[in-house]
Homo-oligomer: A and B are copies of this chain.
Amino acid sequence: MPHQTYHLIYWPGIPGRGEFIRLALEEAGAKYTDTAFTETGMDEVLSFVHGKAKDDGINPPPLAPPILKHGDLVLSQTSNILQYLGPRLGLIPDGPGDPNATYRINGLTLTALDGMCNEPHDCHHPIATGLFYEDQKTESKRRSEDYVTNRLPKFMSYFERVLESESSRGSRWLYGGRLTYADLVLFQCVDGLKFMFPKAMGKLERQGKHEGVFALHKAVSDRPRIKAYIESSRRQPYSNGIYRYYEELDIEP
């Protein structure tokens, strides 16, 4: 069972939330399939989204990708999938000495996704996910201004604080003195934000108040398997997903 192939079901064409799952699988060198790169990938995504996979008799039907299939198990929600994968991929501290590590790492993950993935998404879709960006440009600009001025520094400072706390044990990682999947999540958030808001992120980097967070981003990108992954064709470029570049939203805070 633990060595069964993992199957990632996610929209082809954008890194999106699927990327958080991919980074964990890649760092661990796990065997997995990915609907981003199969001929019937989009059909598979749509069969879930349209509820055709309703009655598998075991799992509650998922609402939206990312979805992970592993044996008979079907899971959705980014943080939830990562929490399932964590111990299986060696991406949380193991052993009975820290039974609550799973919750602590999940808490860090949820906070990163809230403020540095979901909020950036809403910067270009503040009114309605179902409308085009072009139909909510004015509101997007207002929201992005607030984001780069208030929210982004708040979350960057929070993670800097975590890195300076005992939780990090003097290491470059967020929890327990070793790499966990929460570090991969923060890497991807910072990476996406550097693409989306280069002016604001550049300013934060020059200010030097978040050196730990930027160093973590660099340290993850230097890990051999992550480096190989990023240089491969499996790493999809940012496009019309969560992290998007619009010149008019790239506001200097």
Which residues of chain A from 110 to 149 have a CB within 8 Å of any chain B CB? 110-111, 115, 118, 122, 126-131, 139, 142-143, 146
Are A146 and B126 closer than 8 Å at their CB atoms? no
For residues 63 through 117 of chain A, which have their beta carbon under 8 Å from a beta carbon of chain B? Answer: 63, 73, 75-77, 79-80, 83-84, 100, 103-104, 106-108, 110-111, 115
Whole-angstrom distance between the Cβ of A58 and the nearest chain B Cβ: 7
Copies of this chain, complex-wide, total 2
The answer, among B104, B139, B161, for a CB contact under 8 Å with A126, is B139
Give the number of residues in A that approach B within 8 Å (Cβ atoms). Answer: 52
Does the CB pair B143–A174 fall under 8 Å? no
**Provided the pairs A54-B161, A77-B107, A80-B107 are in contact, do residues A60 and B167 lie with their beta carbons within 8 angstroms?**
yes
| Bound CA–CA A76/B167 (angstroms) | 14
Say yes or no: is A150 at the interface (Cβ < 8 Å to chain B): yes
**From A105, which residue of chain B is reached at the shortest CB distance?**
B60
Q: Is A38 an interface residue (CB 8 A)?
A: no
Contact, CB under 8 Å: A63 / B111? yes
CB distance from A117 to the nearest CB of B (A): 12
Distance in Å: Cβ of A65 to nearest Cβ of chain B? 12
A83 in complex: contacting residue of B103, B139, B167, B175, CB < 8 Å: B103
Measured CA separation A33–B129 after assembly (Å):
39
Q: What is the CA–CA distance of A107 and B54 in the complex, to the nearest angstrom?
A: 15
- Which of B103, B115, B122, B167 lies in contact with A84, CB distance below 8 A? B103
Q: A59 at the A/B interface (Cβ < 8 Å)?
A: yes
B161 x A61 contact (CB < 8 A): yes
The residues of B that contact A166 with a CB separation of less than 8 Å are 55-58
Pairs across A and B, CB under 8 Å, 15 listed: A58-B166, A58-B167, A60-B162, A60-B174, A61-B165, A75-B103, A76-B111, A77-B106, A77-B111, A79-B79, A79-B110, A80-B107, A84-B100, A127-B139, A131-B146
Question: Which of A's residues lie within 8 Å of B, judged by CB?
Answer: 51, 54-63, 73, 75-77, 79-80, 83-84, 100, 103-104, 106-108, 110-111, 115, 118, 122, 126-131, 139, 142-143, 146, 150-151, 155, 158, 161-162, 164-167, 174-175
